[in-house]
Amino acid sequence: MVWTSYASPIHVAPSLNALAEDYDNRHPNRPRGTDGALGDADHAARTSDHNPCWPCSGAQHAAIRAVDLSTTLVTDRDRNAGRKSLTESEQRALIAAMIRREKANPADRLFYIIHRFPGDAHTYIWSRTNDWAPKHYDLEAAMPHDHHFHASIMKTLAAHNDTSAWFDFGAAATPPVVATPPVVTKISLSAVMTAMKAGGKLLDGDDGPQLQRRLNSKMGTDLVDDGILGRNTRKVYAAYQATKVGNGNASDAWDNPGYKSDYNGIPGRESLTQLGFDVQP
């Protein structure tokens, strides 16, 4: 991982450079579009680990003690480079492996992680002060952290310097369990059908982005979660229908008179229900 060059003495803590390198080695084709370390003007106006620690002395002087590392494809530059989003299971395994490693690390390096997994309705924070149990992140509306995960280190010299391995993908690895069960989102069948048939139509509210995120999670694709149900979204939806509709389940064709195939990319009640939506008229 190569950060933007910062004017000396500003620097990213060596331990966080090691985190980025370990992440790159694990997922070399991951997105980079929302990677970041140094805070912007908004961060500078408040307390943030993304701001250089000017009061710190010695090696920690002007150190940046937080990084954001991308998990989801959002930029054309990444798309043109052929990069791929991490699936939901890969993201959950990644966070779990970081926590498992830190629990076994006597140096007390990691302070907290913030992230929202694909398809989840909420953003969570895992912190050393809460014994790594997931907790609802209060600032999720302004900072959802749904395209990257945030990692902050402890304010110690040991945490600054510790470049040992960041992940423990043990055989017993299990994703961290969120504090609340997944929220079943209501969605209007008529609205989503109309938007998909029109092609390129923005679906109001968070319904469209939720639909795209859930498709990405299920299919391992890289749809932009902008709520615009265009050709790419319909193509992925058709592929999802082909894998999920049928096998004794109700057919999407019942909701699509005039469309001969169940796998045409026009959502129906059955496939939306299987994506976790509470389907409304």
Instruction: Return the axis-axis angle of helices 207-219 and 189-198, rounded to nearest 10°.
Output: 80
Q: 40-66 pLDDT, tens per residue? A: 888 888 889 999 999 999 999 999 999
pLDDT (0 to 100) of residue 249: 39
pLDDT (0 to 100) of residue 6: 82
Q: 12-40 pLDDT, tens per residue? A: 999 999 999 999 999 999 999 999 999 88
Please state whether 37 falls in left (phi above 0), alpha (psi between -120 and 50) or beta.
Answer: alpha
pLDDT (0 to 100) of residue 171: 57
- Burial of residue 272 (CB within 10 Å: 0-12, 13-18, 19+) is buried
Ranges under pLDDT 50 in the chain: 1-2, 172-175, 177-182, 246-250, 254, 258-261
Report the distance separating Cα 145 and Cα 123, nearest Å.
7
pLDDT (0 to 100) of residue 199: 80
pLDDT (0 to 100) of residue 247: 42
Cα dihedral sign, 213-215-218-219 = negative
Report the distance separating Cα 124 and Cα 91, nearest Å.
13
Residue 202 corresponds to which tokens in the numbers above? 């923005």
Neighbours of 254 (CB within 10 A): 11
- Which among 107, 121, 103 has a CA at the least distance from the CA of 207? 121
| Phi, psi (deg, nearest 5) at residue 16 | -75, -30
Distances (CA, A) of 66 to 122, 151, 274: 21, 6, 38
pLDDT (0 to 100) of residue 203: 72
- Burial of residue 23 (CB within 10 Å: 0-12, 13-18, 19+) is buried
Classify 114 as helix, strand or coil: strand
Residue 221 near residue 215, CB atoms below 8 Å: yes
Report the distance separating Cα 69 and Cα 19, nearest Å.
9
pLDDT (0 to 100) of residue 61: 95
The reply to whether the predicted model has a pTM over 0.75 is: no
DSSP states of 178-229:
PSSPPP-EEEEHHHHHHHHHHSSEEPSTTHHHHHHHHHHHHH------SSEE
Report the distance separating Cα 64 and Cα 232, nearest Å.
39
pLDDT (0 to 100) of residue 173: 46
